[in-house]
Amino acid sequence: MLKGRIHSLETFGTVDGPGIRFVLFMQGCLLKCQYCHNPDTWSLTDGKEMTLEEVLAEIEPYLNYYRTSGGGLTVSGGEATLQAPFVTELFREVKKRWNLHTTLDTNGYNEGPKIIELLDVTDLVMLDLKHIDNEKHIKLTSKPNDRMLNMAKWLSKEGRSMWIRYVLVPGLTDDEQDLLNLGRFIGELNAVEKFEILPYHQMGIYKWQELGWSYPLEGVPSPTEAEVQRAYELIEEGRKQAVSAIS
């Protein structure tokens, strides 16, 4: 029987896609983001195994909230595409039974054609771009950014609905030229319905401490509102440059 390895679930999510959502956090991630607030999702063997029916039974009592708010089901992580067969079946089933909206929250460390069945039952992809500069991406996440950028281009070419999210960390992801370049990259994509900056916060520190790991961003502050605004402006400037270069 197909089972998923689940880290945790949330019945009333309001920040992981449109409306009120059931959010399923899958266990397992191949990245090691320095700002990760769920490092306990990284292990591929921890978490709890659940069947499809067990997950569906958790969703069912709250269906009314999801339907009336324009919400649905979001599968996040960890990295959800590492368990693509399970998530595909789950999305297929919630659509068949309840016609629920489905959102895939992913770091993009995969290849579109390899997870096409999953994407075919996904209404919205929330793609996290971690860094536009490859060297800095490797330092920040332990992996190069080519797969993530290719995933964004592939989703764009295929015309799949996409939101892009970017974590702004002072001193790490806020360089002026990088933000302009990120904007240019986004400006060359179609189908980006929304772009969001997520200001870095330190709320996940305690999990690193619980795991006995030293926190790599010790002492790094959250960005101020003005810094977030500046980042939006630089990205928008880059986006406009790309759009005018195309047209």
Residue numbers of the site for ligand SF4 (CB under 6 A)?
A: 29, 31-33, 36, 38, 41, 77-79, 107
**Residue number, 82 or 100, with CB nearest to ligand SF4:** 82
Measure the CA–CA gap between 34 and 70, rounded to whole angstroms.
Answer: 33
Amino acid (1-letter code) at residue 164: I
In contact, 174 and 127? CB cutoff 8 Å: no
Secondary structure (DSSP) of 35-51: T-S-GGG--SS-SEEEE
| Residue 71 Cβ vs ligand SF4, minimum distance, rounded to whole Å | 22
| Residue 130 Cβ vs ligand SF4, minimum distance, rounded to whole Å | 7
**Residue number, 100 or 148, with CB nearest to ligand SF4:** 148
* Dihedral sign, Cα of residue 156, residue 38, residue 41, residue 73: negative
**Residue number, 124 or 127, with CB nearest to ligand SF4:** 127
Tokens read off for 241: 């440059």
**Residue number, 78 or 112, with CB nearest to ligand SF4:** 78
Backbone angles phi, psi at 3, to 5 degrees: -130, 150
**Residue number, 13 or 77, with CB nearest to ligand SF4:** 77
| Residue 116 Cβ vs ligand SF4, minimum distance, rounded to whole Å | 21
In contact, 141 and 28? CB cutoff 8 Å: no
| Residue 68 Cβ vs ligand SF4, minimum distance, rounded to whole Å | 30
| Residue 31 Cβ vs ligand SF4, minimum distance, rounded to whole Å | 4
H/E element, 181: helix 176-187
Q: Tally the residues of the chain.
A: 247
